[in-house]
Structure 1
Amino acid sequence: MSKTSSAFAAGLLVGVLAATIGFSLFLRHQKIGGGDMAGKRVLKLAHGLDTAHPVHLAMEFMKQRLGELSDGTVTLDIYPSAVLGSETECIEQLQNGSLAMTKTSAGSIENFVPTMAVFSLPYVFRDETHFWNVLNGPIGKELLKEGESKYLRGLCYYDAGSRNFYTKETPIRTPDDLSGLKIRVMNSATAIELVKTLGAAPTPIAWGELYSALAQGTVDGAENNAPSFSTNKHYEVCKHFSLDGHSRIPDMLLMSTKVWRTLSQQEQTWLEQAAKESSDFQRELWRKETLASLEQAREEGVVVYEVDVAAFAAKVQPMLEQVDNADVKKLLDRIREAN
């Protein structure tokens, strides 16, 4: 082989090795949920909500605050509308470190953190004040860290409102008013048992099919928060909305512990502060949207009922007494005792 050919071959080999190393470093950055670009740490955050949702707006606020706190050295790259996968898929990406953060319902991580099942139980919280006192207190802070053994670290909670019953024809003023009605529920054992205990017939139906099911009389009613009721125009079919608030299941902002451990202590502090501020910001947005949704429903002819929540809670008390998970039962007792 000539000297020219040898030099070319050697140069080619060096180029291939350099490209390989560069690509490996690129992949490494991808595996830690983001990467470093021009001296800036970029963290990938994905969720399934649209860009008008209060949670997404809170994440944009968090990105702004994180940039201000870090003087532009740490930022978020936000992927909305499930472009990086479903809630479960995003959680799995957190576990392998390819995604930094995601939003999930507390109910969706029961399989990872069994004690989260407490949020799906009915009438656990006396009211909204009690709910947020618990989440912002010692119990809530402990729960944020419960999933660390599964590579999931909670940063903050977002408000997802309370779930309430709404019906086509029969007003729900007391628990007995539910007797014999077919009520759409999530495909959840707890939700099914709740409706059954109240005397109604639980009917699991996909959310996207619910409007048609209501219109066609497949079910007599459903249950959800006020913004979901109005956004999906269920007020066109259901003219009775009862504020019984049978469950309050928060959304959670989760972070991969694999990514968390790559952050400096200062970066962790900035991120926690920005997350906390985004939670406060989102709660105010949600409060306004809930009030606006109820007002819109009233304008569409819906009657909104204030009910005796204690009467509903008393009827489902046997459900709470039958909780067989010792950790959930202990947590339930602590929540009841909290202010």
Structure 2
Amino acid sequence: MTATRRALIAAALAAPAAGCVQEIGERPLRGADAHPAGYPTVEAVDHFGRLISERTDGRLRLRNYAGGQLGEEKDTLEITVFGGLDINRVNLAPLNPIEPLTLVPSLPFLFRSTDHMRRALDGAPGRTVLNALERHGLIGLAFYDSGERSFYNTRRPIRTPADMRGLKLRVQTSDLYVALVQALGGSPIPMSYGEVFQGLVQGVVDGAENNWPSYQDSRHFEVARYYSLTRHVMAPEVLVASARTWAKLTPPDRDVIRAAATESVPVMRGLWEARERTARQAVVEAGVEVVEDLDRAAFETAMRPVWDRFVTSDAQRTLVEQIRGMG
């Protein structure tokens, strides 16, 4: 644990459980984002910070620690619950073990398109997931995009689940992602993101899965030349506040923060869409074979045992049906 992280946790534990608004105003709100400066989520959180500063005449302001300065997302979530961080942008994955409802937007082949995903998360299903975080010491503010994840590999195009048989595919350290690849006939290999390029070069793995910008930024496209648009997962990022911080804010200041978070969403999405376009263009120009003619129905059918395993409560099943029932 770094000195900065230790200091933030120590400060949080030393602070009273409730305080006054002036206590917050005497220092900047502290935020964290694991992505580097300039990344769409970081830009959106910075925009959020500018809005709350403008609307409170500088009384509330944000200092955002980007680039993973405070550790991995599971670490910064812990700090946020303690109150050492006030604002945090994380992926849903580290929240899955904490709140079962966050598993639902992570389900493979749940969303038919990015538009479907956005309408669901901007609407009642999204509010249900955000509200569920409060019992864990977090206030859910908004969802950001994390892109459409697709499979890529060094050996062949993937058009049906049968094409995945025998492929060693890197996955995140997640039971859900392991089950996803196994159900499609591949061999999941949990591996840190930084090891994937060398793993592809050496044949330790045949492929992996990710969105367009990550596929390009990581240079994986230089080795894994088949990119199949399975769009199997569209799990979002989420912007949260510490419930300890929230308890110290007046209702008008809470309204300012909620409104600023909502208004930061289209900013993030616009930046993300632009980044996706440039990444796709660069990859296509590099000669990668992009596979779009897939048998999506076959992939969806293969997911039934995965859904049965991870959707176990009535609340989860209700949420799934709400999302699937959206036109």
Normalised to the residue count of structure 1, the TM-score between the two structures is 0.87
CA 1:168 to 1:38, structure 2 compared with 1: closer, same or farther past 3 Å?
closer
Letter in 1 for 2:158: I
Tell me what 1:127 maps to.
113
1:329 corresponds, among 287, 303, 317, to 317
Aligned pair 1:109/2:95, yes or no? yes
Tell me what 2:301 maps to.
314
Letter in 2 for 1:137: G
**Identity across matched positions, percent:** 33
SS at match of 1:254: strand
Tell me what 1:206 maps to.
192
- Check the 8 A contact 1:34/1:41 in 2, yes or no: no
Say which is worse superposed, 312-321 or 141-150, in terms of deviation: 312-321
CA 1:26 to 1:317, structure 2 compared with 1: closer, same or farther past 3 Å?
closer
SS at match of 2:53: helix
Letter in 2 for 1:155: L
How far apart are the structure 2 equivalents of 1:58 and 1:201? Answer: 36
Aligned pair 1:279/2:265, yes or no? yes
Tell me what 2:83 maps to.
97
SS at match of 2:157: coil
RMSD: 2.4
Normalised to the residue count of structure 2, the TM-score between the two structures is 0.90
Aligned pair 1:190/2:176, yes or no? yes
1:242 shift after superposition: 1.0
- Check the 8 A contact 2:143/2:239 in 1, yes or no: yes
- Check the 8 A contact 1:33/1:97 in 2, yes or no: no
1:52-63 aligned at under 5 Å gives the runs 52-63=38-49
Unaligned runs of 5+ in 2: 1-10
CA 1:89 to 1:32, structure 2 compared with 1: closer, same or farther past 3 Å?
farther
Tell me what 2:277 maps to.
291
SS at match of 2:37: coil
Tell me what 2:31 maps to.
45
How far apart are the structure 1 equivalents of 2:299 and 2:321? Answer: 19
1:141-180 aligned at under 5 Å gives the runs 141-180=127-166
CA 1:112 to 1:150, structure 2 compared with 1: closer, same or farther past 3 Å?
same
1:79 corresponds, among 35, 47, 65, to 65
CA 1:314 to 1:175, structure 2 compared with 1: closer, same or farther past 3 Å?
same
How far apart are the structure 2 equivalents of 1:30 and 1:86? Answer: 26
1:261 corresponds, among 229, 247, 256, to 247
Cα deviations across residues 194-235 of structure 1 (Å, max 9, x unaligned)? 111111111112111100110111111111111111001011
SS at match of 2:181: helix
- Check the 8 A contact 1:157/1:252 in 2, yes or no: yes
Cα deviations across residues 60-117 of structure 1 (Å, max 9, x unaligned)? 1111222222232221111112222321221111211121011111111112211111
1:34 shift after superposition: 12
- Check the 8 A contact 2:21/2:248 in 1, yes or no: no
CA 1:256 to 1:164, structure 2 compared with 1: closer, same or farther past 3 Å?
same
Cα deviations across residues 143-198 of structure 1 (Å, max 9, x unaligned)? 11111111111111111111100011201122221111111111211111111111
Aligned pair 1:181/2:163, yes or no? no
CA 1:322 to 1:98, structure 2 compared with 1: closer, same or farther past 3 Å?
closer
Aligned pair 1:240/2:208, yes or no? no
Aligned length: 315
- Check the 8 A contact 1:124/1:336 in 2, yes or no: yes
Say which is worse superposed, 72-81 or 127-136, in terms of deviation: 72-81
Q: Which runs of 4+ in 1 moved over 4 A?
A: 25-41
How far apart are the structure 2 equivalents of 1:295 and 1:43? Answer: 38
Say which is worse superposed, 196-205 or 320-329, in terms of deviation: 320-329
How far apart are the structure 2 equivalents of 1:336 and 1:97? Answer: 36
SS at match of 2:143: strand
CA 1:26 to 1:242, structure 2 compared with 1: closer, same or farther past 3 Å?
closer
- Check the 8 A contact 1:29/1:36 in 2, yes or no: no
CA 1:297 to 1:259, structure 2 compared with 1: closer, same or farther past 3 Å?
same
Tell me what 1:18 maps to.
none
How far apart are the structure 2 equivalents of 1:280 and 1:153? Answer: 20
How far apart are the structure 2 equivalents of 1:299 and 1:151? Answer: 47
1:277 shift after superposition: 1.1
1:35 shift after superposition: 8.2
* Structure having the higher Rg: 1
Letter in 1 for 2:318: K
Tell me what 1:138 maps to.
124
How far apart are the structure 2 equivalents of 1:36 and 1:298? Answer: 53
